Amino acid sequence: MEYVNPLTGFRLDGRRPNEMRQIRGEIGVVAKADGSALFEMGNTKVIAAVYGPREVRNKGQQINNQALVRCEYGMANFSTGDRRRKPKGDRRSTEISLVIRQTMEACILTHLMPHSQIDIFVQVLQADGGTRSACINAATLALADAGIPMRDIVTSCSAGYLCSTPLLDLNYVEDSAGGPDVTVGILAKMDKVTLLQMDAKLPMDIFENVMQLAIEGCKAVAHYIREVLLEHTKQLECHRGA
Amino acid sequence: MESSEGTGGLSGEIEVEAYRRLFPLPFYERHLLESVRPDARPLNRARDTTIALGPVASADGSALVKIGDTTMLAAIKLEVMTPSTDAPDEGSLAIEFQMPPICSPSVRPGRPAEVASVISKQLSDVMMSSEMINLKELSLISGKAAWMAYLDIYCLSADGCLFDAALLSAIAAFSHLQIPLVSVNDDGRVIAVFGELPEAKLKLELVNKEKRKLSLGSKPFSLTCILHEEYILADPNAEEESIMDTFVTVVLDSLGQLVSIYKPGGAALANMSTIKACIALTKSRVKELNNILSESLSEMEVD
């Protein structure tokens, strides 16, 4: 199948190989949450809600010198093409919950909030490839909305390699083509990689190109997220001033 | 209570917040004496309601409903299945209501909220008893194939009146539902058809010629009221629900017939006049909701 048209260089959905899908972020979508955000990457739509810092529910898990970070990832039954029977508790969801938790834990300043718990819940409403990255971006926005101290903002993007071309931000069709899929998460200003996952075989030199492409995608997302946060702060300032 | 000094105003505000947290019931009663609530609504007014149709592109019918801050997302997916032998020309309906942990601080992951199962059961009962959907319309080939409609409702934000919002989102999703085209393939199995197919591929005629909508009977709408002493508060938010525990849910259909009344215990007892007052409040709410829904539907048709 032609994922990249050899004549025009366009992908199946009309993008260029190094073009991301349209991203959109909105803060404050869940009224009762301490922080929440809706993040869209193309047709992938994800809601993240943050509750915390609050008292630890399970005293046995309490950590004395830092906050406990918990994360749960769920997909709605109607999020994928065929209706899913088991939206939570299956292996993929458990693995992604773990990945998101560890990624966010790396950037939250947990030592500032001992004896407490921070819950990050992510719900996928529509899945079209790149759900992992959309979840991390949404979680970053939600944590910022909740006012939780962080080292830096974490952004994530995926890239792949099909028809001998590195492609940025794969959608579902490109992802299921069987080619390699590299997901990268970085701390934007510090320029450090916190998450790196890849499956399928890829030669070393091509891997470097693909990873570099993904990192540029992450930086573009970080730029957008910073704008969204600035806009939101200006609105808060407006309301407070009035 | 405006103070000329900024700091005076701020400390006054903190005292009001503290009073609200420590003594919620007296705080509310002071407001109820003036026939108003802390969010400036009169006792019989519901919160702003909006309906958006078709937010989930991959589903056959979907709706996003907001009543105040309570947000519900409902989506319907249709699958072909064999009908049961005692109802060979009827399809079937499976309703699932879920509260993911994002919606409220009281929902813990791994343990579904108690209220979710209650609302799930209430919803199926109301949908069946209101006879809005004629299951015979979901049949394809009598005895061999029929539609199974999976309705999934997700609560994205819980701020009181969950049942009302869930019912409204279910009705809106069914109003938006379009039944896809199907044909029978070589094995005699019915499969859904997406997009255009060349004539040669169809062994049998298409069972339905074009995408059609369900013809719905009269739609049920509901209103939850909270009873406290002699006051009746319509459409409570989560704070009001947590301090006053007696509520009555009345479901009427668009023809004004009573579909269901639900009053699950509680400290306040209701006599006939209170119930009649709740039903009257529901009647005006039904007109409001019907208008909002028909406006959204006509907006969709214009597109």
Identify the CATH homologous superfamily for domain A23-241.
GHMP Kinase, N-terminal domain (3.30.230.70)
Q: Which of A72, A78, A125 sits opposite B77 (nearest CB)?
A: A78
CB pairs under 8 A between A and B: 78
Angstrom distance (rounded) from CA A154 to CA A147: 15
Q: What number is the average pLDDT over the span A144-148?
A: 95
CB–CB of A63/A152 below 8 Å? no
What are the Cα distances from residue A16, in Å, to A8, A153, A167, A176?
A: 9, 27, 8, 19
Q: Which of A30, A79, A125 sits opposite B103 (nearest CB)?
A: A30
Would an 8 Å CB–CB cutoff place B111 in contact with chain A? Answer: no
Calculate the average pLDDT of chain A.
Answer: 91
User: Confidence band (pLDDT; 50, 70, 90) for B258?
Assistant: very high
Q: Which of B75, B77, B157 sits opposite A31 (nearest CB)?
A: B157
Would an 8 Å CB–CB cutoff place B240 in contact with chain A? Answer: no
- A30–B105 C-beta distance less than 8 A: no
Please give the helix or strand (H or E) that residue B13 lies within, else none: helix B6-22
Q: Which of B223, B165, B167 is nearest to B44 (CA)?
A: B223
Would an 8 Å CB–CB cutoff place A73 in contact with chain B? Answer: no
Q: Give the phi and the psi of residue A211 in degrees, each rounded to 5.
A: -65, -40
pLDDT tens digits for range A32-50: 999 999 999 999 999 999 9
Residue A194: per-residue pLDDT: 93
- A77–B100 C-beta distance less than 8 A: no
Given a cut of 90, is residue A148 above it in pLDDT? yes
Nearest-by-CA chain B residue for A52: B105
Question: Residues with Cβ < 8 Å from B146, sequence gap 6 or more?
Answer: B80, B81, B82, B83, B89, B90, B91, B92, B138, B139, B140
Residue A64: per-residue pLDDT: 86
- A123–B58 C-beta distance less than 8 A: no
Given a cut of 70, is residue B201 above it in pLDDT? no
Can you give the pTM of this predicted structure? 0.89
Q: What percent of chain B has pLDDT over 70?
A: 88
Q: Which of A121, A170, A168, A131 is nearest to A45 (CA)?
A: A131
Given a cut of 80, is residue B193 above it in pLDDT? no
Would an 8 Å CB–CB cutoff place A111 in contact with chain B? Answer: no
In chain A, what are the domain boundaries? 23-241
Q: Which of B75, B104, B109 sits opposite A78 (nearest CB)?
A: B75
Interior CA angle at B50 toward B44 and B55, to 5°? 155
Q: Which of B152, B159, B238 sits opposite A77 (nearest CB)?
A: B152
Residues of chain B with C-beta less than 8 angstroms from the C-beta of A172: none
Tell the residue number behind the tokens 């579902």, with chain if given: A172
User: Confidence band (pLDDT; 50, 70, 90) for B189?
Assistant: low
Q: What domains can you pick out in chain B, each with its CATH number?
A: 49-178+213-302 (3.30.230.70), 181-212 (no CATH)
Residue A126: per-residue pLDDT: 92
Given a cut of 60, is residue B36 above it in pLDDT? yes
Angstrom distance (rounded) from CA A109 to CA A66: 8
Chain A nearest CA to B58, separation (Å): 6
What value of ipTM does the predicted structure carry? 0.87
Best mutation target among A32, A100, A126 (most B Cβ atoms within 10 Å) is A32
pLDDT tens digits for range B261-281: 999 888 888 889 999 999 999
What are the Cα distances from residue A5, in Å, to A125, A178, A210, B175?
A: 31, 18, 19, 41
Residues of chain B with C-beta less than 8 angstroms from the C-beta of A33: 102, 105, 157
pLDDT tens digits for range B210-236: 667 888 888 999 999 999 888 899 999
Residues of chain B with C-beta less than 8 angstroms from the C-beta of A122: 102
CB–CB of A125/A87 below 8 Å? no
Given a cut of 80, is residue A242 above it in pLDDT? no
CB–CB of A25/A137 below 8 Å? yes
Interior CA angle at B74 toward B63 and B163, to 5°? 110
Given a cut of 90, is residue B169 above it in pLDDT? yes
Read off the DSSP letter of residue B284: H
Would an 8 Å CB–CB cutoff place B238 in contact with chain A? Answer: yes
Q: Which of B168, B211, B218, B215 is nearest to B53 (CA)?
A: B168
Q: Residue window 37-66, chain A: list those with CB within 8 Å of chain B.
A: 43, 47-49, 51, 54, 57
Q: What percent of chain A has pLDDT over 90?
A: 69
* Position with higher pLDDT, B109 vs B96: B96
Residues of chain B with C-beta less than 8 angstroms from the C-beta of A119: 101, 109
Angstrom distance (rounded) from CA B199 to CA B197: 6
